[in-house]
A and B are shown apart, each in its own frame.
Chain A
Amino acid sequence: MIEVSGLTKLYGDFAALDDVSFSVPQGEILAFLGPNGAGKSTTMKILTGYLSPTSGSATLGGLDVTEHSVAIRQRIGYLPETTPLYYDMQVNEFLAFAARLRKVPRQLRQGRLGWVADICHLEPFWKKPIGVLSRGQKQRVGFAAAILHDPEVLILDEPTAGLDPNQIVDIRALIRSFAQRKTIILSTHILQEVNALATKVVIVNEGRIVADSTVASLCEEYGDLEQAFRALTTAQPVGAGAAAAPSGDGESEVGHE
């Protein structure tokens, strides 16, 4: 379904992505792991057409994401890391706006809005301005906007970041409910989440792929996911490893200025 090959993204001299290749078969959930700044968000932004790659290509259902960007975006539901929402709009207004932009046919629109309100539990704050909602509620609105047009592919950038345990369970249940019907790429720092949701795992570090495997085989090789993550993302010569970890928030800063 999704084929990424040789994807490279340079910011000046800095390679946010360096020759990244992986693929996601239809109907799979791929967990996309890596330290902050490793290139997870950059990859997702390229797939969704927000950024263009410096070189390399990515295809979705056989269509190139740069050449057929608008058609690709119609088939993707994307939840960015920052959950961008219009804070001055009410939840229902924002989702109606999103439904029109995603070209949900007029006769289906009301039904779809009711559907997302139901499965994302939006009724209690359906007519509230988005600005007054809690982080978890905003996240559910963002998730609702991503699935409104019933896309084949979901790209979720840290969908559970900053949520409390109850909210995490909610979002996770939502993702699982889509697992049967959609191809999903999910980035996260919560490794139990990977166990709970994904079968395939790709780990990136400093813009390069360091593992492309399954949860089962990584656990077999390293004991558990946490040890696999530690081993694969800090495995540099002594001294360099310490510098890699706090390179920190570079990713999100580079991603949207």
Chain B
Amino acid sequence: MSSVLTLARKEIRQIFLSPIAYAFLTVFVFFVTFMFFRTFFLVREISMAGFFDLFPMVMAIVIPGVTMRMWAEERKQGTIEFLLTSPIETWHIVVGKFLGGLALVALCLIITLLVPITVGRYGTLDTGPVWGGYIGALMMGGTFISIGMFVSAFTADQIVSFLAGVTVMLFLVLLGHPFISSEFGAGSWFGAFARTISPTTHFESIGRGVIDLRDVYYFVAISGLFLYLNVRVIDLRRWK
């Protein structure tokens, strides 16, 4: 366990030493804040619904920017050999990296707390959906990090890693868009399937403020699955 924390600390350090982390933070915070307030003062409704609606899409685009270097950089610099010949299990490295990425997402979310605080000053805000939205966002962030890391394990090229990550995540997010899951596939097995596997549906469900264990289970299971696959991909490289 202490190896995991050592590796998480190293990952956090590297994330915050690179300009990419600050670009990520800035884009994320400014984008969600600006897009929300652009309509907030027109609609004049004390609700955060429009705010959280932006999260799946924005996260699908910015999180690959954080995860793209996680394995790609280790492979390019050769430091993967340092890690894999240290007396630690592969899953320690994978979980350490995951926690490092999650820390950055958590920091972004904490900064955006200024938005509900501001909204609350204009009227009484129902806090249930706000907490739900944040818990859902953290879990969706974790899921996207695990997917992005998995993708990053296949290439030493950060650009390829980024684009592949965005593609996979946008695809999953869009599956949960009403156009796909309701209009196009209404009532069909495909619509139900799309709603089940898309993070968007589960995020929106948690965001209503009622935490359904099925949604929690979805995020934990998908994160766990991709972290496990990540360990397998790294270990398989030893047999190459």
Contact = CB atoms under 8 A, between A and B. Distances in A.
B85 A80 contact: yes
Contacts of A100: 2-3, 6
A74 B87 CA distance: 5
Contacts of A80: 78, 81-82, 85
B89 A70 contact: yes
B156 interface: yes
B14 interface: yes
Contact of B14 (A70, A74, A86): A86
Contact of A48 (B6, B77, B80, B85): B85
Nearest to B7: A101
B85 A70 contact: no
Contact of B239 (A52, A70, A76): A52
Contact of B78 (A74, A84, A88, A101): A84
A102 B79 contact: no
A257 B75 contact: yes
A50 B88 contact: no
A251 to B, nearest CB: 14
A74 B7 CA distance: 17
Contacts, number: 74
Contacts of B82: 80, 84-85, 98, 145
Contact of B79 (A48, A74, A86, A103): A86
B10 A50 contact: no
A73 interface: yes
A152 to B, nearest CB: 13
B238 interface: yes
Contacts of B85: 48-50, 73, 76, 78, 80
B14 A88 contact: yes
Nearest to A80: B81
A2 B78 CA distance: 26
A118 B138 CA distance: 46
A50 B78 contact: no
Nearest to B18: A88
A49 B156 contact: no
B87 A102 contact: yes
A187 to B, nearest CB: 15
Given A51-B238, A70-B87, A70-B88, A101 B6 contact: yes
B81 A71 contact: no
Given A50-B238, A80-B82, A86-B79, A71 B87 contact: yes
Contacts of B81: 45, 50, 80, 82, 84, 256
A73 B156 CA distance: 25
B17 interface: yes
A144 to B, nearest CB: 13
B19 to A, nearest CB: 12
Given A50-B81, A256-B78, A73 B238 contact: no
Given A52-B239, A85-B82, A86-B14, A101 B87 contact: yes
Contacts of B77: 84, 86-87
B233 interface: no
Contacts of A71: 87
Contact of A102 (B84, B86, B238): B86
B12 to A, nearest CB: 12
Interface string A148-185: 00000000000000000000000000000000000000
27 contacts: A45-B81, A49-B84, A49-B238, A50-B81, A50-B238, A51-B239, A70-B87, A73-B86, A76-B85, A78-B85, A82-B78, A84-B77, A84-B78, A84-B82, A85-B79, A86-B77, A89-B13, A97-B6, A98-B82, A100-B3, A101-B6, A101-B83, A103-B87, A145-B82, A256-B75, A256-B80, A257-B156
Interface of A: 11, 45, 48-52, 70-71, 73-74, 76, 78, 80, 82, 84-89, 93, 97-98, 100-103, 145, 256-257
Interface of B: 2-3, 6-7, 10, 13-14, 17-18, 75, 77-89, 156, 238-240
Q: What are the 8 A-B residue pairs with the smallest beta carbon separation, nearest first?
A: A74-B87, A84-B78, A73-B87, A100-B6, A48-B85, A101-B86, A84-B79, A52-B238
